[in-house]
């Protein structure tokens, strides 16, 4: 279960311990920067969907329906994330991780920038929501392909005993992206209050994406290809149909891995999908806080999510991925019970506290994911396996979680139904976690493909 030893080399030369350390640091920075840019773009949309898109693009449908339609566009993009995952998995397993990361970054940033100049319903009528949905679909395709490539670059470059730590790097890009998105919108609501924000203040964070694209592109172009893929290419073992092989042999593994993420994603998309922002700031709702207060509470919770995600990745190298997850599921369930009573207090500080408690559980059910997924799937189908499992989990868990929550709230008139829906999804993730094996330190190289296909499930020895 040890990875192949590398030949001794002179210090400072390619392949030496010093150069490998520098390369790992460069990969870590590249994955953090790249995923931050991707998810900033993704979360800017979700936050705007909760705050302004209902009024600007779907208002003729009526107050309550416009909100649900706005959230449905958030969920619609999830349906295209599996397409992005299939495409990225196919090309990533055949042609490498790096090229996919560059393409997805450019696709996401371009779609986000175009949303920033998109006319509203009042300006061009029904064409406005149609174009908005089309650009959101492009975001979904990009997000579906982004995560798997970033994860494998981080984990496959990492030392065997520190995969959880390095695998947490692309994971923390998600809360950093949420932090930047919420902070940018918070600043805009301060600089452009009321109608000015609805008029054009909301557009500035979308247009800012073009700056982030340039930074992310420069960073990612400087990263070397994953050593595992380089070995696959050298051995001429690239599969011509990796997705077909994945589903022919590992369909139960894909389903269970997807359900693990679904349990995290449903709860996480209460903020990242814009539901809490809308629920807490709706002037006709039960809370009625101003937009700025809500956005700064979300920003504060992004910090605790970042910290807990990083700590969970580090801890998983010491106590195992599965054990870390189990701690996270219990913490997430407890936080969900407290969340809406704190939100319904209509107090900004208690709202922030509720969200921060939730993100502690979210971090522990997200931080170890990169390393665990990478150690579950064999080398020849790893990109396809981690990408498709992640995308399917996002569809099942997060795609329509904000819309479901809004519908439950409207039907029952109470947030209690939303709480039990989220706890039910947490239980799904917990059960899926118990059915999978923990395999920290397993050899990830293509030479160990046969070993990688054994002992995937909890009932196997």
Distance CA 323, CA 434 (A): 10
Distance CA 254, CA 260 (A): 10
Q: Number of H helices and number of E strands within the chain? A: 21, 0
Superfamily grouping for domain 21-452: MFS general substrate transporter like domains (1.20.1250.20)
Ranges of residues in the chain with a pLDDT under 50 are 1-19
Distance CA 175, CA 333 (A): 20
Q: Is 421 helix (H, G, I), strand (E, B) or coil?
A: helix
- Which pTM was predicted? 0.82
pLDDT for 234 equals 59
Structure tokens at 341: 């009573």
Each residue's pLDDT tens digit, 184-197: 888 888 898 888 88
Domains of the chain, by residue range, sit at 21-452
Distance CA 446, CA 382 (A): 10
pLDDT for 165 equals 94
């Amino acid at each position: 279960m040890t990875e192949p030893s590398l030949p001794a080399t002179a210090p400072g030369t390619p392949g030496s311990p010093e150069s490998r350390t520098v390369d790992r640091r460069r990969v870590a920075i590249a994955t953090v920067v790249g995923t931050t840019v991707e998810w900033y773009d993704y979360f800017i949309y979700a936050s705007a969907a909760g705050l302004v898109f209902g009024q600007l693009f779907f208002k003729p449908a009526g107050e309550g329906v416009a909100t649900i339609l706005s959230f449905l566009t958030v969920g619609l993009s999830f349906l295209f994330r599996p397409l992005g995952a299939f495409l990225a998995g196919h090309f990533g397993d055949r042609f490498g991780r790096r090229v996919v990361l560059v393409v997805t970054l450019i696709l996401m940033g371009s779609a986000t920038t175009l949303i920033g100049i998109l006319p509203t319903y009042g300006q061009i009528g029904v064409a406005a929501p149609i174009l908005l949905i089309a650009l959101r679909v492009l975001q979904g395709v990009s997000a579906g392909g982004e995560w798997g490539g970033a994860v494998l670059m981080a984990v496959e470059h990492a030392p065997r005993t520190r995969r959880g730590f390095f695998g947490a790097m692309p994971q923390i890009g998600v809360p950093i992206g949420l932090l930047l998105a919420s902070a940018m919108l918070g600043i805009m609501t301060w600089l452009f209050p009321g109608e000015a924000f609805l008029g054009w203040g909301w557009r500035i964070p979308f247009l800012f994406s073009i700056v982030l694209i340039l930074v992310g592109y420069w960073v990612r172009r400087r990263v070397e290809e994953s050593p595992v893929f380089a070995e696959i290419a050298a051995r001429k073992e690239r599969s011509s149909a990796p997705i077909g092989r994945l589903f022919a042999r590992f369909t139960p593994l894909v389903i269970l891995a997807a359900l693990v993420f679904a349990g995290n994603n449903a709860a996480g998309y209460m903020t990242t999908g814009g539901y809490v922002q809308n629920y807490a700031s709706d002037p006709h709702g039960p809370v009625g806080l101003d937009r700025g207060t809500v956005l700064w509470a979300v920003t504060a919770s992004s910090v605790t999510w970042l910290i807990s995600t990083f700590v969970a990745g580090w801890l998983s190298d010491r106590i195992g991925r599965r054990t870390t997850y189990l701690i996270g599921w219990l913490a997430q369930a407890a936080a969900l019970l407290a969340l809406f009573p704190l939100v319904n207090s209509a107090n900004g500080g208690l709202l922030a506290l509720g969200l921060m408690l939730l993100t502690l559980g979210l971090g522990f059910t997200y931080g170890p994911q990169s390393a665990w997924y990478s150690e579950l799937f064999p080398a020849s189908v790893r990109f396809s396996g981690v990408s498709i499992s992640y995308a399917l989990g996002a569809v099942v868990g997060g795609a329509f979680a904000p819309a479901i929550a809004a519908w439950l709230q409207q039907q029952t008139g109470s947030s209690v139904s939303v709480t039990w829906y989220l706890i039910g999804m947490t239980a799904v993730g917990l059960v899926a976690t118990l059915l999978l094996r923990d395999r920290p330190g397993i050899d990830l190289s293509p030479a160990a493909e046969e070993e990688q296909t054994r002992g995937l499930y909890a009932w196997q020895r």
